[in-house]
Amino acid sequence: MRGRKGTVMSAMLVGSVAIGMVYFINFSGLLLISYDRAEAEVGAAASSTDTVPPKPAIPLLDTVAYDKKMLALAHRSATSTVPTSSASSSSTTTPRTATTTRAYLWPAKTVYPNAGALLPFNRIVAYYGNFYSKGMGVLGQYPEDVVLEKLRAEVARWEAADPSTPVIAGIDYIAVTAQASPVDGTYRARMPHSQIDKALELAEKVHGIVILEVQLGFSTVQTEVPLLEKYLKMPQVHLALDPEFSMKNGIRPGKEIGTMNPSDINFTTNYLAKLVQENDLPPKILVIHRFTENMVTGYKQVRPLPEVEIVLDMDGWGFGAKKINTYQRVIYPEPIQFTGFKLFYKNDLLPPSTRMLTPQEILDLTPSPSFIQYQ
């Protein structure tokens, strides 16, 4: 499936925004406490002879409910068993009867998330884009009231299609955008705080979450992700990486499709996990876009953590059969943890397509996606 290549530059900022716009953002990430309060707490501790009470017990994940929901997403019953093959034997002299069965790839076999995880107990339906550009998605295409009205309508559609799974609205804002021009040599532009704050305000109006998208250009996750720490410390803010615009070969974004490796992804999950631990946050979601095999390499070395839930999001556009084929070809065979599916209001209707896929058609995929994104 072609995905977005060939028209990828329509997904970049244009005009005055695209040329020469760069924001130098310095987030200190410090959490300040007033002097009076700190002094009072130290004094109280010094004068007290009582034993310090233990911290409240950390709530535990309901693993039974988690397993049940993961099996449901994989369209398997609770009584399903994982098939095994006895075709191989440690003995070269004793023949054994071979049995051939198809191994279950899903649910992915990985760690349980910490309590408070949004997935798989909920489904996220998010609107994507950048407020500066009408060409990058819904967020920049319509006025705020129209965006909110359309998003609420999509949430209702997904709730009706799967009443067993509550739907959380999301504002998926591109906070670091790939550029056609060098922009200090990195081919990426960072959005100002005011625009990210606008995404936070929009999400609050639908009682939703925020996903901050990062398109690296020639930059790196090690550089860009920590600059968003101020926002990633907030419990309702999550992160997305777009390998399409992670250019490791010196070719500028839009000329070919980029890639990410396990080092990129594992750095990001470890960074997010540290923020979760240090700030007593619920697990973060990390969305990683994909519509070709090479966009994500070495998936077996990618390590989900209890503090970070990983979603591989099928990001290609086209008519329904091609999108489903891409999902089955690049998402299904390489299980990491959760899956997502992206829908394009415009590109999914380009000929020969005559309609977009319905929620039910997407829910029928194995596994059913937990993250739905509209551009």
3-state secondary structure of 321: helix
Output the six-digit token pair for 5. 């290549």
Q: What is the pLDDT of residue 307?
A: 98
Residue 60 within a domain: no
Q: What's the Cα-to-Cα distance from 348 to each of 155, 240, 289, rounded to whole Å? A: 19, 22, 17
pLDDT digits (tens, 9 = 90+) for 105-145: 999 999 999 999 999 999 999 999 999 999 999 999 999 99
DSSP string, 103-134: PP--S---PPPPTT--TTTSEEEEEEEBTTBS
Q: What is the pLDDT of residue 345?
A: 96
Residue 78 within a domain: no
pLDDT bracket for residue 55 (50, 70, 90): low
Q: To the nearest whole percent, how much of the chain has pLDDT over 90?
A: 75
Q: Which CATH number goes with the domain that contains 330?
A: 3.20.20
Q: What is the pLDDT of residue 53?
A: 60
Residue 71 within a domain: no
Q: What is the pLDDT of residue 77?
A: 82
Residue 23 within a domain: no
What is the CA 130 to chain-centroid distance, rounded? 17
Residue 263 burial (10 A CB sphere; 0-12, 13-18, 19+):
middle
pLDDT bracket for residue 225 (50, 70, 90): very high
- Domain hosting 227: range is 8-13+116-374
pLDDT digits (tens, 9 = 90+) for 64-97: 999 999 999 999 986 655 443 333 333 333 333 3
Q: What share of the chain is helix, strand, coil (3-state, %, to 5)?
A: 35, 20, 45
* pTM of this structure: 0.81
Residue 139 within a domain: yes
Q: Are 284 and 239 in contact (CB under 8 A)?
A: yes
The mean pLDDT value of the chain amounts to 84
How many structural domains comprise the chain? 1
Residue 358 within a domain: yes
Rounded to an integer, the average pLDDT of 11-17 is 36
Residue 186 within a domain: yes
pLDDT digits (tens, 9 = 90+) for 227-282: 999 999 999 999 999 999 999 988 999 899 999 999 999 999 999 999 999 999 99
Rounded to an integer, the average pLDDT of 177-195 is 94
Residue 191 within a domain: yes
Output the six-digit token pair for 353. 């397509």
Q: Are 342 and 304 in contact (CB under 8 A)?
A: no
